[in-house]
Amino acid sequence: MRARKNIGGLDALMLIPAVFIGLFFLFPVGTVVGRGLAGDGLDAVIDLARSQRQRDVLRFTFWQAVVSTVLTVVIALPAAATVAGLSSRARRVVRSIVTVPFVLPTVVVAGAFDELFLATGLDAGAVRLRHTVWAILIAHVFFNYAVVVRVVGTAWVGLDCRQAEAARVLGATRWQAWKEVTLPRLRPAIASASAIVFLFSFTSFGVVLILGGPRRATLETEIYRYAVSRTDLTTAAALAVVQLTTVLGLVAISTWLERRRPATTRVARRTRTLGSRAGRRVNGLVAIALLGGPLAVLVERSFSTGTGYDLSHYEALGTRVRQLPAPATTALWNSLQHAVMATAIALVIGVLASVVVVHGRSSLRRFFDLGLTLPLGTSAVTVGFGILIALDEPPIDFRTRWWIIPVAHALVGVPFVVRTMVPLLRSIDPSIREAAAVLGASPSRVRREIDLAIGARGALVGGGFAFAVSLGEFGATSFLPRRPDDLTAPVALFRLLSTPGDLLRGQAMALAVVLMVLVAVSVFVIESSRGTTEGAL
Amino acid sequence: MLRVDALTIRFGDVVAVDGVSLTLAAGERLAVLGPSGCGKSMLLRAIAGLEAGDGTVSLDGVNLTDKAPDQRPIGLMFQDHALFPHRTVEQNVAFGLRMAGNAPGERDQRVHELLALVGMEGFGDRATATLSGGEAQRAALARALAPGPNVLLLDEPLGSLDRHRRERLIEELPDVLRATGTAAIHVTHDHDEAFAIGDRLAVMHAGKVLQVGPPGEVWAAPASITVARVLGHTNEVTEGAATVVWRSDALRLDPAGPHEAMVERVHFRGVEHDVRLRTPAGQPLRFVLADPPAVGDNVRFSIEPERVIRFG
């Protein structure tokens, strides 16, 4: 039974997220779809279906996403087991460490891998990784390792280990007990982690653009190529429609899997640590090599002058080079400002929307559920492309306004806020609200004293993610018109990286290190403020 | 025969089980009684092979100490059941048979036999989440018995049940064990349950087994004051240099009796009353009486000498 909710005063506030999502997300994406399906757009879709190249692009997009997902699960599943067996304090430290790669700017990671291949001689010769499919796949595993470790590891911790023990006592070997009891119970978590990894790999942009080299293209990079390099907006829109349809299907499947994920028991007992010391060591080494290797090369290169080590690359960040409209330090400063604004916007929109999703009227709830799930699945590229073609005429010619970049970043950040807030708000037992009401708190007071007080931590975590994501956002930003004042750090980094020759390499590495440190700091702030809650993402 | 010899389990500096030796004859039921945290669950886990410790566990002369849980013909029924939530009742019961490699036909028949034995016919297709506490208990019992273990270990199996179901299962459990000829170690903190179920009773405290014997004997003649406390005796009285225990049925109201006390509380318990007294020296006493005095009265009483427990 649901208690009657008094949200009268809230209805007006709900207009804010509704208008925001409608204007900056639904309208632009709707414009893309309209353009992709109307008149010559439909012809373009048909042309695409006929074109061998586009069929190859689509096939490659799917294929690399499937392989990335399988590789990530295979490599990260043992790590999830090891993490589940750790003490809760050790688990928290490990979780924050593996989460850093997850939020690192794609441009930074791509640059790091590119540099790693050059440094280890894997750029040419028999074992060539640079500009191959393998480079893309390895980078995807790098990014998504944390998703599997966190989602599956959390589910694993929640499992009651006595069920596996019961299986052992009933005659199951260690392997049988895992296969028959533990794995089936983990399956929903593995499935939903896989869905997330697949989605991220499917919509991956920066990694494919930089690591894949000129010949490897996925739907995302194809949209970019048509929209920005060739300014063939119709074909780009047609591609975006294909992309959107696929992603929506995937989101529907993953939401369905999410609903089926059973609630884990709160008071799970853990009498012995899972995973042997050997297992811990192997997983530790894999994580260090996979996650630490590229980043170590990145740091080393940023200090290296070829003959020794100094700070010259960092000092060079202050002077403008020909390839950039402003010095890299200006880009960093811009990015920080954007991130602060984007976080503020994402928090306001995300918190209000979460309240509606949890407490709102059912019709509103449905609208917001949909409106919020869409940006989660829609790629940043589509969002950027939509803003580019939809908000281009007065009175809504917003493309060149200074605030459009933070707004685009906030769209990418809102789902993070909602994803941390909604479970937290849902977890509040209605009886404690009733207790507050009985003790004399008015409805608005209850909201402040109970919901906001408890939700604040979720807002902090979600806001932290939004901040980190904004700092590294590349996909949406790369579609927006460039003005010197708006140059962001990831875009500057991309230009430095795509300049041939070694001249700007060191400076690129220095810029990447600065970005990485900023993001890492925000992740550690998030994790330390998360406290004891065992959220998945 | 199951034999446990000098079993010790340590967690860092904590000794959970401290040099426990026990035997269990074929078909016998041994109740292990002890307060929570005394190490009785740990003892069962070690016998099942889920905890490693020093000492040996052997069954019919075969040393099991280094064998994995799946290699021991021993069943364990967990506190709170630990039923597999992703499988039906039938699949839960069939699990051990499947692990043993029984043919499907044989398996189905055995599952039905067991569900009938525990009074759960027709529950086979139910999801475990839909079972009530008592039903889950029965399903867990059927699952533990299905592979036909020589010894069944029961860890507070009736702990989560309401009083009514508890009393019913206390009666039924020995019948089921007798029907399958299974020897059992039944761990509990409830002395009524231990008395009702065990052929023999082992009293455990702080990791040690303090006394083993038929329940009546142990109750009547506890070996130490600690055993007397675990058994629920509360009236510790100094007699000269020794400490003795007055059983709760030792009091006779007697105007000419040698002892005096004030009636503090009387709890109605149906057939009898739980009467709390306090002596002029301030010592609390507790007795069971059919005809209680009124609260606030000063009473004189005598103690029946054969109902006084003396130690050493």
pLDDT at A270 over 60: no
pLDDT at A1 over 50: no
Residues B26, B168 within the same domain: yes
Write the CATH number for B47.
3.40.50.300
Domain count, chain B: 2
Residues A149-169: what's their mean pLDDT?
Answer: 82
Q: What is chain B's mean pLDDT, rounded?
A: 90
User: How does pLDDT run across A57-100, given as a tens digit for each residue?
Assistant: 888 888 989 999 999 999 888 888 877 777 777 777 777 777 77
Beta carbons of B76 and A174 less than 8 Å apart = no
Give start and end residues of each alpha helix (H) in chain B. 40-48, 89-99, 104-117, 133-145, 163-180, 191-197, 215-220, 225-230
Quote the pLDDT of residue A227: 80
A266 domain-assigned: yes
Of the residues B196, B220, B244, which one is the last residue of a structural domain?
B220
Which residues in A lie closer than 8 A to residue B50 (C-beta atoms)?
A: 165, 168-169, 271
Residues A423-433: what's their mean pLDDT?
Answer: 73
Quote the pLDDT of residue A265: 42
Sign of CA dihedral A508, A509, A514, A517: positive
B275 domain-assigned: yes
Residues B216, B249 within the same domain: no
Omega cis (within 30) before A395: yes
Interface of B to A at Cβ within 8 Å reads 45, 48-51, 68-70, 72, 74-76, 78, 80, 82-86, 95-96, 99-100, 143-144, 146-147
Determine the Cα–Cα distance for residues A246 and A264; give it in Å rounded to an integer: 31
A30 domain-assigned: no
Out of B74, B82, B99, name the one closest to residue A176 (CB).
Answer: B99
Domain count, chain A: 1
Residue A376 structure tokens? 């989660």
Residues B181, B240 within the same domain: no
A306 domain-assigned: no
Lowest mean per-residue pLDDT among A43-57, A299-313, A428-442: A428-442
pTM listed for this prediction? 0.74
Residue A373 structure tokens? 């799930």
Closest CA relative to residue A190, chosen from A137, A144, A136: A144
pLDDT at B244 over 80: yes
- Choose between B30 and A456: higher pLDDT: B30
Tokens 């446990």 belong to residue: B4
Out of A160, A170, A174, name the one closest to residue B96 (CB).
Answer: A170
Residues B106, B250 within the same domain: no
Lowest mean per-residue pLDDT among A241-250, A337-346, A434-443: A434-443
A164 domain-assigned: yes
A293 domain-assigned: yes
Residues B207, B238 within the same domain: no
Between CA A95 and CA A104, with CA A98 as vertex, the angle to 5 degrees is 130
Residues B243, B199 within the same domain: no
Lowest mean per-residue pLDDT among A399-403, A529-533, B3-7, B201-205: A529-533
Beta carbons of B75 and A170 less than 8 Å apart = yes
Write the CATH number for B295.
2.40.50.140
- Choose between A482 and B50: higher pLDDT: B50
Tokens 């806020």 belong to residue: A417
Residues B118, B250 within the same domain: no
pLDDT at A361 over 80: no
Task: Find the domain containing B280 and state its range.
Answer: 233-309
pLDDT at B20 over 90: yes
CA distances from A233 to A57, A224, A354, A405 (A): 18, 10, 35, 21
Quote the pLDDT of residue A373: 63
- Choose between A154 and A269: higher pLDDT: A154
Out of B50, B95, B96, name the one closest to residue A165 (CB).
Answer: B50
Sign of CA dihedral A134, A135, A140, A142: positive
Task: Find the domain containing A169 and state its range.
Answer: 41-301
Task: ipTM value, please give it.
Answer: 0.74
Of the residues B152, B187, B220, which one is the last residue of a structural domain?
B220
User: How does pLDDT run across A374-420, given as a tens digit for each residue?
Assistant: 666 677 788 888 888 777 776 777 777 777 888 888 888 887 788 77
Residue A407 structure tokens? 């707004």
Tokens 């399956």 belong to residue: A187
User: How does pLDDT run across B22-79, given as a tens digit for each residue?
Assistant: 999 999 999 999 998 899 999 999 998 888 889 999 999 999 999 888 888 999 988 8
Write the CATH number for A149.
1.10.3720.10
Which residues in A lie closer than 8 A to residue B100 (C-beta atoms)?
A: 171
Percent of chain A with pLDDT over 70: 81
Phi, psi of A41 (to 5 degrees): -65, -45
A492 domain-assigned: no
Residues B208, B258 within the same domain: no
B283 domain-assigned: yes
A384 domain-assigned: no
Of the residues B161, B193, B220, which one is the last residue of a structural domain?
B220
How many CB atoms lie under 10 A from the CB of residue A165? 24
Interface with chain A: mutation pick from B45, B50, B137, highest number of A CBs within 10 Å: B50
Closest CA relative to residue B39, chosen from B8, B67, B74: B8
Determine the Cα–Cα distance for residues A237 and A333; give it in Å rounded to an integer: 33
Quote the pLDDT of residue A6: 45
pLDDT at A27 over 90: no
Contact, B98 vs B107, CB < 8 A?
A: yes
Determine the Cα–Cα distance for residues A317 and B12; give it in Å rounded to an integer: 55
What lies within 8 Å, CB to CB, of B95 at 6+ separation is A167, A170, A172, A180, B84, B87, B143, B146
Quote the pLDDT of residue B58: 94
Residues B155, B213 within the same domain: yes
Quote the pLDDT of residue A263: 47
Instruction: Work out the pLDDT band at A264, boundaries 50, 70, 90.
Output: very low
B227 domain-assigned: no
Quote the pLDDT of residue A273: 45
What DSSP designation does A322 have? T
Quote the pLDDT of residue A82: 79
Residues B298, B202 within the same domain: no
CA distances from B98 to A447, B78, B137, B139 (A): 53, 20, 21, 17
- Choose between B290 and A306: higher pLDDT: B290
Determine the distance in angstroms separating the CA of A404 from the nearest CA of chain B, rounded to an integer.
49
A223 domain-assigned: yes
What lies within 8 Å, CB to CB, of A279 at 6+ separation is A78, A81, A82
B288 domain-assigned: yes
